[in-house]
Structure 1
Amino acid sequence: MTPAGPVLDRVRMTAEIAADDRFDVVVVGGGITGAGTFRDLALQGLRVLLVEAGDFASGASGALSRVAHGGFRYLERGDIGLVRDAVRERDRLVAAAPHAVRPIRVVIPLTSRFGGLLAAPLRFFRLASGRGLPGVAPMALGVALYGALSGGSGALPGGGAAAGTAARRRFPYLGRRFAGAVWTHEGRIEAPERIAVELIEEGVAAGGRAAALNYCRLVAVEHGRLVLEDRLAGRSFRAAAEVVVNAAGAHADRVAGLFGIEQRMTGGVAGAHLILEAGTLAARLGDDLLFFEDGAADPAKRRLCVLYRLGGDRLLLGTTETRCDAPEAADVGEADRTYLLAALAGLFPDEASGARVVGHMVGVRPLVHSDEADLAHRSRDHAVFRHRPGGLPLVTIVGGKWTTFRKMAEDAADAALDALGRSRRVSTADRAIGGGANFRDRRDGIEADLIGLGLPPDLARRLTATYGTRAPRVARYVAAKGGAAPLSDDGRLTRGEVRFFATEEMATSAEDVVRRRSDQFFRAARLDTVTARVAAELGVKGGPAS
């Protein structure tokens, strides 16, 4: 039975836990994989508890390049299975969450027309190693294969290739040193954190007295019971589980250690991104995403970088790959900045000098542990580990890509169901996510309804585009007295939205709102000012979101 009040009501859920602390499954970790696993298990009719040490999606799940992609670059090394799964999961995500994931054209500039005609096939069949993008001709074959792996879903437009004058006409921002380019389409994830929150809300709404708590961490395991610390309430409590799912990402080994598991399952790789302000370059790029080589002198050491416009004059530039065994200490250092800005200068030497770094983010990807020294060659596939410490089944899910979170969650959920002796009742393969449910059919009607509430057309349009079929719920807060007043200079964050985040999405701090419930971290011209205004609205201490 769906709760009468807000689904994500912390007071109600903590009271239910206090009344009965027994759960079928406890999921540790509220990133995208943990959120997906929680929803999946709750939909099977289980009583599930999700606990996250920070805010939902506050780790690597919110610090990605914000693109759902199939891993085109993995084709060259013959990872057909990984790419096929990722492409199909990407297409499912575009269909499931059209309010949060939108098509974006990905352009790959190339310096040669026919280079790599021999080397590329050898790499594909793993008969040779090496790096460096091949020429337009072999890459065009790769684009055709990439499109075929989608199975004809039609979720995204197709790709293509162009050389010489034709390429420069199609992509006028490319200089003459490029022989051509290929392009595909991927899904731009406008709000990865929102997807996580909506998955969690659906899990709680599924019934079975499921509960989800952010700012609640697992601190110990005593006699088969989990000791949890509610950081907001300042108290500890215990919960019993038939199965525990460890979806703690880069912290998975530490969580497993609480159960006495010493096996190393994950190896962290930190990825840094810079937020740039560069009006001329942003205007030139338009809505395209560039996937380009960093220009290292040695082709064997070249890496691929990503650049696209976030909105207005803002651009996202990424990413680095650095081994990171202490995820809590990950940061963007001067070496990261220097590397990324040098890569940008190699692509756009004139415009790069005027680009200003206005923000940054870093996330630690929890790849499956490997002794492979070359980080670029480590597998991006995922793995499920099963242990029974003291007789308590522990399922650990690590690795994978953000794009494949649904499949990862499904595999983790199936392992938990197997441990419980239960069968799957519901598939999530074609299930909509939150505001994506029937959004394409209802979009125009929702926007008209919001205008009928008295909201200005531009505001009604933005709320509809951002929240999908959940927009009427948000609009009730915005339409209330004072709710339409903007808290951001660009008008993209209103007082009513902040009230909605606090009341219905468990946001407790200014950073929760600025960084993970809105786009202000990426777009605000005066981030400190917006953060302070949000903090005042929430009645909490403010501070820059970093």
Structure 2
Amino acid sequence: MLSRKNHLETLRVKAEEQYVWDVIVIGGGATGLGSAVDAASRGLKVLLLEGHDFAKGTSSRATKLAHGGVRYLAQGNFSLVREALEERGRMLLNAPNLVKPLAFVIPVRNIFQKLFYWFGLKMYDMLAGKLGVGPTTMLKKNEVLRAVPTISQNGLKGGVRYFDAQFDDARLAIALMKTLHKLGGMAINYMPVEGFTKDGEKICGVQARDEFSSHCFTFKAKAVINATGVWVDEVRKLDSVDSKPMLSPSQGVHVVVDEHFYPAKEALLVPKTSDGRVLFVVPWLGKTLIGTTDTPRKDAPWEPDALPEEVDFILNTAAQYLANAPTRADVRSVFVGLRPLVSAGGENQSTKSISREHTVITAPSGLVTITGGKWTTYRSMAEEVIDLVCEQQGWLNKPTRTRHLRLEDDLPARKPGSALHEKLDLNLAEIAQAVLEEMAVTIEDVLARRSRALFLDSAAALECMNEVRFVLQNELRYSDQELDRQETEFRKLVAQYGLKEEQKFAQSLAMQ
């Protein structure tokens, strides 16, 4: 049983005993969890500290696709595509219950487009090699209509079908957390790192604080990895106030609408939008997910807002390809993820041109920072950073085991009980499972990441809040005051995710 209370007590004892961890990983997103799992797979003593909840930030707000990056082919970045396709294949093999093949249809308006995309995607297949998912094929107009019944027929001349994969990002993060514990490591959420301890100029531990009790801990470590995504610069500042920013964040917005707007089993890829990006229309957990955008930011809030023009762009672009186009009134949820893009210099460059590849740097203090990349390449990024740490520490003959490591992804059989809401697949037993077995400790944890209720239908998620309060109070003995605090915070989130009129008005004022 993965109880945060029990883990907190274990950590308290270890801190008092001045236990020395081999590796402390800061950050519980894809990269941090992957790095911790990789280190634990080598027999190292590993502790992961997450300041909020696992996958709270970018790692729960992806487009839910494990992919090689079709558009990187056009940029000629074949090495990045090849690596990502190999890692896509490993995700399918290592987490088969969470990662599934998914076909994509690209609609075309003429034979030249069809040949162009077919040729490029055949190269995509070739780069995937033996880890390919399925062959690229040309489609006639009637075949496109069979695959995507609600597609607009205006100018449609056929299409091209290719294959990638789909997964639930937050659930995969929880699978990694469980795998880490099975390998003998430890991970705890709501334990932000607030400073470092040093022996001379070298880091030898971290100072952290429990969000619920405000109790402070000092954890000793031989190596510390900063894997906090778009917040790596903040952690680097804790090490050295002179650290220069290495990121140029951008945000990507997704909207979720009902399935009837896109009742297809295959996804739709719009290969070139008005801003030069691609747009996906993807079936996901009984809903339709549409995205994404690429808007530069100078800040990195935990809960970024979707700008009205970003939502309009997504809906307007989708309307060009869907016969039954959703409007703002049809949006069930809107969520925003921040990309940790590694700046290549030059403030005026477009974030579409900034590298999606990851970067690993080591500070004079020994702090190792890894950032950039994407979910699909989390495992190879983790292998690289732990290889580096092992080399720095002189740990020999400790190869990774993650290339063929099955994750703890065997989702339990559906817990008995009636659904709490007609629009959500969630019951009381599953809420209790999230709290008792998956370290969920807040209303948001349960409704945003252990289940995906907030992301699927924000209004319906709000209507399930009282049942979650009941389970939390029953299992964790929270006070009414603490639950009231959590409820207030969750209501704020629902307003952001639900395109509330007052939220749009506040955004318009902020932009003036």
Provide the rounded CA distance (Å) in 2 between the counterparts of 1:333 and 1:431.
40
Could you tell me which of 324, 327, 340 is aligned with 2:300? 327
- Structure 2 residue aligned with 1:159: 136
Provide the rounded CA distance (Å) in 2 between the counterparts of 1:13 and 1:492.
35
Which letter does structure 2 place at the counterpart of 1:214? N
- Structure 1 residue aligned with 2:7: 10
Per-residue deviation at 1:295?
Answer: 4.7
**Superimposed CA distance per residue, residues 277-309 of structure 1 (whole angstroms, 9 cap, x where no aligned partner):** 362x222xx11211115653xxxx432111122
Q: Is the CA contact 2:226–2:370 (under 8 Å) kept in the aligned structure 1?
A: yes
Could you tell me which of 233, 244, 247 is aligned with 2:227? 247
Q: 1:170 to 1:536 in 2, by over 3 A?
A: closer
Provide the rounded CA distance (Å) in 2 between the counterparts of 1:311 and 1:6.
26
Aligned ranges 1:253-272 → 2 under 5 Å? 253-260=233-240, 262-272=243-253
Deviates more, 1:525-534 or 1:403-412: 525-534
SS in 2 for 1:146: helix
Provide the rounded CA distance (Å) in 2 between the counterparts of 1:88 and 1:333.
35
Are 1:412 and 2:385 an aligned pair? Answer: yes
- Structure 2 residue aligned with 1:463: none
Q: 1:507 to 1:168 in 2, by over 3 A?
A: closer
Which letter does structure 1 place at the counterpart of 2:231? H
Q: Is the CA contact 2:28–2:55 (under 8 Å) kept in the aligned structure 1?
A: yes
Are 1:531 and 2:462 an aligned pair? Answer: no
Could you tell me which of 136, 156, 160 is aligned with 1:182? 160
Which letter does structure 1 place at the counterpart of 2:433? F
**Superimposed CA distance per residue, residues 207-258 of structure 1 (whole angstroms, 9 cap, x where no aligned partner):** 2xx3211111111124344211111222111112211111000001111111
Provide the rounded CA distance (Å) in 2 between the counterparts of 1:238 and 1:82.
39
Aligned ranges 1:186-197 → 2 under 5 Å? 186-189=164-167, 191-197=168-174
Q: Is the CA contact 2:125–2:136 (under 8 Å) kept in the aligned structure 1?
A: yes
RMSD: 2.2
Are 1:292 and 2:292 an aligned pair? Answer: no
TM-score (norm 1): 0.80
Could you list the runs of 5+ residues in structure 2 that have no partner in the other structure? Answer: 474-482, 495-512
Q: Is the CA contact 1:291–1:307 (under 8 Å) kept in the aligned structure 2?
A: yes
Could you tell me which of 195, 212, 228 is aligned with 2:187? 212
Q: 1:169 to 1:30 in 2, by over 3 A?
A: closer
Q: Is the CA contact 1:27–1:50 (under 8 Å) kept in the aligned structure 2?
A: yes
Which letter does structure 1 place at the counterpart of 2:251? A
Q: 1:78 to 1:229 in 2, by over 3 A?
A: same
Per-residue deviation at 1:383?
Answer: 1.4
SS in 2 for 1:199: helix
SS in 2 for 1:325: coil
Are 1:351 and 2:325 an aligned pair? Answer: yes
Q: Is the CA contact 1:159–1:185 (under 8 Å) kept in the aligned structure 2?
A: yes
Which letter does structure 1 place at the counterpart of 2:156? F
Per-residue deviation at 1:76?
Answer: 1.0
Provide the rounded CA distance (Å) in 2 between the counterparts of 1:165 and 1:24.
59
Q: 1:215 to 1:166 in 2, by over 3 A?
A: closer
Q: 1:166 to 1:98 in 2, by over 3 A?
A: closer
Q: 1:203 to 1:169 in 2, by over 3 A?
A: closer
Q: Is the CA contact 1:305–1:317 (under 8 Å) kept in the aligned structure 2?
A: yes
Which letter does structure 2 place at the counterpart of 1:202? T
**Superimposed CA distance per residue, residues 186-206 of structure 1 (whole angstroms, 9 cap, x where no aligned partner):** 1111x2112112212222222
Deviates more, 1:260-269 or 1:43-52: 260-269
**Superimposed CA distance per residue, residues 57-98 of structure 1 (whole angstroms, 9 cap, x where no aligned partner):** 010000010111110111011110000000110111011111
Per-residue deviation at 1:353?
Answer: 4.6
Aligned ranges 1:67-106 → 2 under 5 Å? 67-106=65-104
Which letter does structure 2 place at the counterpart of 1:252? V
Provide the rounded CA distance (Å) in 1 between the counterparts of 2:335 and 2:103.
23
**Superimposed CA distance per residue, residues 140-170 of structure 1 (whole angstroms, 9 cap, x where no aligned partner):** 111111111112225x222212245554455
Provide the rounded CA distance (Å) in 1 between the counterparts of 2:462 and 2:147.
40
Provide the rounded CA distance (Å) in 1 between the counterparts of 2:471 and 2:421.
12
Q: 1:217 to 1:295 in 2, by over 3 A?
A: closer
Q: Is the CA contact 2:3–2:436 (under 8 Å) kept in the aligned structure 1?
A: no
Provide the rounded CA distance (Å) in 2 between the counterparts of 1:308 and 1:371.
34
Deviates more, 1:524-533 or 1:380-389: 524-533
Percent identity of the aligned residues?
Answer: 28
Are 1:375 and 2:309 an aligned pair? Answer: no
Q: 1:180 to 1:85 in 2, by over 3 A?
A: same
Could you tell me which of 171, 177, 180 is aligned with 1:203? 180
Which letter does structure 1 place at the counterpart of 2:309? A
Provide the rounded CA distance (Å) in 1 between the counterparts of 2:282 and 2:175.
26
Provide the rounded CA distance (Å) in 2 between the counterparts of 1:341 and 1:23.
49
Provide the rounded CA distance (Å) in 2 between the counterparts of 1:175 and 1:486.
38
Q: 1:82 to 1:198 in 2, by over 3 A?
A: same
Provide the rounded CA distance (Å) in 2 between the counterparts of 1:171 and 1:513.
33
Q: Is the CA contact 1:278–1:354 (under 8 Å) kept in the aligned structure 2?
A: no
SS in 1 for 2:470: helix
SS in 2 for 1:56: coil
Could you tell me which of 367, 373, 395 is aligned with 1:400? 373
Provide the rounded CA distance (Å) in 1 between the counterparts of 2:31 and 2:246.
16
Which letter does structure 2 place at the counterpart of 1:177? G
Aligned ranges 1:16-27 → 2 under 5 Å? 16-18=13-15, 19-27=17-25
Q: Is the CA contact 2:343–2:355 (under 8 Å) kept in the aligned structure 1?
A: no
Q: How many pairs are equivalent?
A: 466
